[in-house]
Structure 1
Amino acid sequence: MTPISLPTPTVGVPLPGRGCDCNACAFYAGADGRGGPATVEALCSGTNSDCRFCGCAASEADAPQNACVTRKCPIRCGSRTDIAQWMADVGGTLQFDDISIDGELPDGLPSFIPMTDGSSVTRLDASLNWPAYGVGLRRVYSPETHTLYPRFTEQTARQALDLKPDQQAVLVGYGEDPLVEAFWTNRQRDGLVERIAAQEWDLVLSCNYSIYGDWPRTEHLLNMRRSLLLAQEFAEAGVPVVPNLYWFRLEDLERYLAWIEDAPPPAIAVNVQTVRDNNTWDTWERPGLHWLAANLPTDMPVILTGLSRANRITEMVQLFGTRLTLVSQNAHQYALHGAIMTPNGREDVHARTEDAFASTVQYMASLLPPR
């Protein structure tokens, strides 16, 4: 399908082209970097060939005003009737130049951080005295009510988890798309960032906004900026925070690198827990991680969430060495079924939950270089 050329509406902010039309897009850079007639910010080399949305009804030249039913369509593209509002919502730009995430990682983080369900860790930690525990966003912010659970608003995170004074609490701000979208939409109205800051987490891994291969580039660009903006809001609230990086093309990684070199965050995080099949890992995630390892500043810490296969962990250790931190929920998930992780994979040994948990935590930590 050939995109329909339509003029870019003048609304005070740069807009993507309707119907993924590069000539009408404010962000088109083109292969030569010069862009097209509507270019304002040259950020994108062109349309996503796998996009399923650039030919929707709203992109047609004679589409009625109500063709884009924005309440039902979750995709942000140039054909949306409210795309100007989304552009204004991210500050009227898709660049990274105005974003700065200041702060430091807490001292004493272990190379492996197990995730739990947000309840007391006393039983799981009985034989471990592990330095840090992670909790996923859905354990703190309800997917059903889109409110913070009282358990985490009526006490600090450390108190909610029954941590010892020398143990650290890490909020892993990842979740399914409806959850993180609700967090973005409600964060200012409900003061979510400030209220999470009041919970005194030792570290927050900021939300990641998804980038799927069959989505339009507008959605990619918006979500990359939103991920960094949210991390900046946490940093401004005094929270030790690490931004999450998602990418789709080499140009995305290059933009991240330029930003990191100009305004380095305390670390970068990458959520790989959604990359389960080998094809996606080999063609997308793995090449990107290799590129980051080769190009990031050598002192930039890297936090990977969701890596559980021993061969993948070994490869990432070879790439990042002692600057790698791994966060995973596998130890807890396996332990609930009396199973453990071993060099041969999962083994159902029918162990007590706390014993199975300790075994997997120690095994996964053994795959990482000591600090």
Structure 2
Amino acid sequence: MTIQLPLTVLTPARACDCRVCPFFIDNPDAAEPICSGSNSDCSYCGSARTADQLTPSCGQCSIRCGSRTDIRAWMRDAGGTLDFDDITLQDMHWPDGMPRFVPQIDTTNPAELDGDLQWPAYAVGLRRVFSPKVWDVLPGFRDITAREALGLGDGQLSVLVGYGEDPLVEAFWTRRRRIYPLMAQHQWDLVLSPNFSMYGNQPRTEHLINFRRNLVIAEELLAAGVNAVPNIYWYRLEDLQRYSRWLHDITPPAIAINLQTFRTDADWEEMALPGLSWLGGELPTATRLVVVGSSRKSRIDELLALYGDRLTVISQNPIQYARHGAIMGPTGREDVHADVAVAFAATVRYYSSLLTQWTPEDQTATRTCGGSNG
């Protein structure tokens, strides 16, 4: 699928000049008034304000801004707009039998881990499928289904977490139209589509283009026959408000959020949790939230208080702990020197219990008490 380009491909203003930018909400001539202005924390403003069409290295910059010599090409590749209205996620569905907790593993042969566990679904990360060295699908995932490549049994579901370091996901974007048919052959039960980063020190243009690309790539995957869920990021309240309007227009079965980068308490409490809290009250009741990277009980409790039984968690913690003979339980990490499969199964069951034993009464109690400390 190719996103239908509008008649005019809009481009952000050079040198972050909001007065003439087609996306600035206070520009009376703006075609898409969606942005409240440039990012005061941007570390690239000097480059943006001095760049000109003769700057030889501008096109090699890893950051997209209105002063880039190739910004029109980037905008065209993202659909010629920063709006979301053309993204419908029409063919997405939530797989039957998907558990509330899905362990992400580091191997293509989970039989050694699964043992007597017989877990309903397993996930793998993008770099286990798409090579970070040669930017192509790895040999073990060619001419084979994902279930076969992972060694899953009948009825077990395969999940691809399409997240990775920036060079990996950018290479995937560049080659995506060649890769889509191969991914369709894999017959993944669910794919969390690759997500493009949002950093606080980037130009606002970079934020907005990446918010758009996170949705475009899911839309294209769906059109190629891959059951993909889009990842969303935000930086300002206006971003969340725009997502809310879009979500209520289309009511998708699910959206995903990558929480792996919010490692410290400050990151969680100052950046992640406020947006998650706002979104929790706005997400359509029929839309599930899939999160990757929240493994602390306190954080899972907070997410449950916000999203209840609509929450699905994917985590690498069970395999990471098991490789060191450790488990996670009610008292925290325990180094029990257990067999890998035994330790893995214990931690998977523990995380699952946090989600499946939750009740609406827990949600009410947590909100009344103000939640737990992340």
TM-score (norm 2): 0.91
- How far apart, CA to CA, are the structure 1 residues paired with 2:192 and 2:357? 22
Matches within 5 A, 1:205-216: 205-216=192-203
Show the counterpart of 1:184: 173
> Deviation at 1:217?
0.8
Correspondence 1:123-142 to 2 at 5 A: 123-142=112-131
Matched, 1:85 2:73: yes
- For 1:338, the equivalent position in structure 2 comes to 325
Q: Which residue of 2 aligns with 1:5?
A: none
Encode CA deviations 1:76-104: one digit per residue, 9 max, x unaligned: 00111111110111111110011110221
SS of match in other structure, 2:201:
coil
Q: 1:46-79 CA distances to partner (integer Å, 9 max, x unpaired)?
A: 11110011221x5227x461165322x2000011
In the TM superposition, what is the alpha-carbon distance from 1:130 to its structure 2 partner? 0.3
* Contact in 2 for aligned 1:22/1:36 (Cα 8 Å): no
2:257 pairs, out of 265, 270, 295, with: 270
Partner of 1:44: 35
Residue of structure 1 in register with 2:11 after alignment: 15
Q: How many residues matched?
A: 351
Distance 2:53 2:63 in 1: 19
2:62 is aligned with 1:66: no
Counterpart pick for 1:287 among 261, 274, 278: 274
Q: Does 1:223 align with 2:210?
A: yes
Per-residue deviation, residues 13-41 of structure 1 (Å, max 9, x unmatched) = 221122212113111113xxxx255x221
Flag as ranges the 4+ runs of structure 1 deviating above 4 A.
none
Q: Which residue of 1 aligns with 2:89?
A: 101
Give the whole-Å Cα distance in 1 for the aligned partners of 2:73 and 2:192: 27
Partner Cα separation in structure 1 for residue 331 and residue 49 of structure 2: 52
Question: Which of 249, 252, 256 is the aligned partner of 2:236?
Answer: 249
* Cα pair 2:251 2:284 within 8 Å, conserved: no
Secondary structure of 1:341's aligned partner: strand
Query: Is this contact kept in 2: 1:118–1:140, CA < 8 A?
Result: no
Does the 8 A contact of 1:15 with 1:87 survive in 2? Answer: yes
Cα deviation, residue 337, structure 1: 1.2
Partner of 1:4: none
**Kept in 2: contact 1:23–1:36 (CA 8 A):** no
* Matched residue SS, 1:213: coil
Q: Does the CA contact (< 8 Å) of 2:143 and 2:185 recur in 1?
A: no
Amino acid at match of 1:54: C
1:170 maps to a residue whose letter is V
Post-superposition shift, 1:261?
1.1
**8 A contact 1:304–1:327 mirrored in 2:** yes
- 1:122, 1:161 → 2: CA distance? 9
AA in 2 matched with 1:66: T
- Identity %, equivalent residues: 53
What SS does the aligned partner of 2:180 have? helix
What is the Cα deviation at residue 233 of structure 1?
Answer: 0.8
Name the structure 2 match of 1:6: none
Query: Structure 1: which amino acid aligns with 2:239?
Result: D
The alignment partner of 1:171 has SS state of strand
Per the TM alignment, residue 280 of structure 1 is displaced from its structure 2 partner at its CA by 1.5
1:117 aligns with 2:111: no
How far is 1:262 from its partner?
Answer: 1.1
Q: For residue 367 of structure 1, give the secondary structure of its aligned residue in structure 2.
A: helix
Q: Which runs of 5+ in 2 are unaligned?
A: 1-6, 359-374
* Amino acid in the other structure paired with 1:13: V
**1:146 corresponds to which of 135, 142, 146:** 135
Q: 1:351 aligns with which of 338, 352, 360?
A: 338
What CA distance in whole angstroms lies between the structure 1 residues aligned with 2:138 and 2:44? 36
Q: Report the Cα offset of residue 147 of structure 1.
A: 0.5
Instruction: Give deviations 1:218-255, integer Å, cap 9, x for gaps.
Output: 00110011010000011112222211111111111111
> Aligned partners of 2:139, 2:50: CA distance in 1, in Å?
48
Partners of 1:251 and 1:326 in 2: CA distance: 26
Say which is worse superposed, 305-314 or 346-355, in terms of deviation.
Answer: 346-355
**Tell me, what secondary structure is at the counterpart of 1:204?**
strand
Gaps of 5+ in 1: 1-10
Q: Is the 8 A contact 2:53 2:69 kept in 1?
A: no
Distance 1:130 1:370 in 2: 17
Equivalent residues of 2:215, 2:231 under 8 A apart: yes
**What letter corresponds to residue 255 of structure 1 in structure 2?**
R
CA distance in 2, matches of 1:23, 1:105: 44
What is the letter of the counterpart of residue 23 of structure 2? F
Q: Which amino acid aligns with 1:85?
A: A
Using the TM superposition, give the Cα deviation of residue 131 of structure 1 relative to its aligned residue in structure 2, in angstroms: 0.3
Contact map agreement 2:121 2:159 (CA 8 A) in 1: yes
SS at match of 1:304: strand
Letter in 1 for 2:346: S
Contact 1:317 1:369 in 2 (8 A): no
Q: Which moved more, 1:116-125 or 1:177-186?
A: 116-125
The two structures, once aligned, show a CA RMSD in angstroms of 1.6
Query: Whole-Å Cα distance in 2 between the matches of residues 129 and 237 of structure 1?
Result: 31
Match in the other structure for 2:156: 167
Task: Tell me the TM-score normalized by structure 1.
Answer: 0.91
C-alpha displacement of 1:119: 1.3
